[in-house]
Amino acid sequence: MDLLDREACHRVFQTRDARFDGRIFVGVVTTGIYCRPVCPARGAKLENCRFFASAAAAQEAGFRPCLRCRPETAPDLASWRGTSNTVSRALALIADGGLDGGEAGVDALAERLGVGGRQLRRLFQQHLGASPIAVAQTRRVLFAKQLIHETRMSMAEVALASGFGSVRRFNETFKRMFRRPPSAIRRRTAAGAPDAAAGVTLRLRYKPPYDWDAMLRYLADRAIDGVEEVAGGVYRRTVAHDGKTGTVEVAHEPERHNLAVTVRFPCVRAVPAILARVRRVFDVGADIETIGAHLSRDPFLAPLVAQRPGLRAPGGWDGFELAVRAVLGQQVTVGAARKLASQLVALCGETLTDPVSRVFPSPDRVAGADLGALGMPGARRDALKALAAAAQGDPHLFRPFGTIEEAIARLRSIRGIGEWTAQYIALRALRETDAFPASDIGLLRGATRRRGMRPTPAALLRRAEPWRPWRAYAAQHLWARSG
């Protein structure tokens, strides 16, 4: 919907149309508050409304978040993906703390994305209606508000977890934006909040439909012994961050369109980074209706999308871990790759005392390990060593970088990383929505129209051209079709 069409936007809010939740926000000039389309409050007159493409744009315009509809709980949709992959990559880096350094970090962020600082600011204004700094600050404040609402963390812990340098700065920012101290919100919502001693539980909202069963099957089929497990409809795994370890578990709340994420970690500062990984793995931010509508233009894909309308593109928990899995999976089955990964973890992974008892090894551990005990060809062991060395040399190796073509070329420069492996890493770890490992046997099988007439990778690439910029999601449907 064009946000310049004020009357159409106003009808969305009058009818509380949930289809636009996370896509547009309304600021009411008479109250100074901005809301989601699903807000239960009485709607304002059109002349008193201003409409925004993001919460950051509303806050940059001087509006404060509604305490009833809680904009921080809106689905974090990426409906503009495909019109600006640069913005998509930038948001992923911001979620990982890419602008914690303030305005000075915008130019560095732009450099990583292969654009100029002015162009990045222009793209953010065009697609989100706000500057990169405003987006980062809004995320920080709304995350703090969510922590206050949903946990019993102390205000000092909330300030640290949401990226504020001090409790004083946190209090000042909160009072300026909400016209009340953070403790006022805590008093209204503390009842029934989970005890912090049992872990921090937060909810990530998604835009339905969501094929949870398919996601769990994918994770269960690849679960590494000791590192992760799927049991009772819940995914659990170990977490390593900045030299510390803990656990995370993810459950589904379909009636509320939420994922319930429980983090048990010794440092509250790590909570945002861990939640960003959960969003990446479970593809929470996909605007699945928009993607499905685009892919359904192809008569071949249309019935596949109709059969699995909520199919997501699972991500990788950690870039290096995913890349190692990809190398181990070269020319072997999923089960064989899982067995090799479990052997690697047993060989050089860190041991814990939890039920999920091991942490996936770091690049340093893999680089220093004797991999001769792994039952695989020497060339693949050499590729693992080269991968570990590359990760040691560049801590940003598995973060968004330039265009997708540049990212693929960068990965392919590592010894033992071919086109299939690079595309797979880009799809799962870099979250490139247009990555497409066309030589994959499963994709070729899924794209077969007639028995015994499997297309060539080149033919499949030509066939997939209309699927851009969401070829990664088309790949998920082809894999599902191939069984």
Strand partners, 264: 247
150 and 193 in contact (C-beta within 8 Å)?
yes
Which of 36, 5, 428 lies closest to 207, judged by CA? Answer: 36
Per-position b or e across 321-333, b if 16+ CB within 10 A of its CB = bbbbbbbbbbeee
Under 8 Å between Cβ of 389 and 406: no
Whether 222 contacts 325, CB under 8 Å: yes
What DSSP element (H or E) covers 107?
helix 104-112
CB-based contacts of 461-464 (< 8 A; 24+ apart in sequence): 461/436, 464/436, 464/438
C-beta of residue 244 within 8 angstroms of C-beta of residue 362: no
* Residue 440 annotated in active site: yes
Main-chain phi, psi angles of 250, to 5 degrees: -130, 125
Strand partners, 202: 261
Which spans in 132-192 are helix H? 132-150, 155-161, 167-178, 182-189
State the catalytic residue, choosing from 287, 318, 434, 440: 440
100 belongs to the catalytic site = no
* Annotated catalytic residue, options 35, 39, 49, 69: 35
Q: Which residues are catalytic?
A: 35, 440
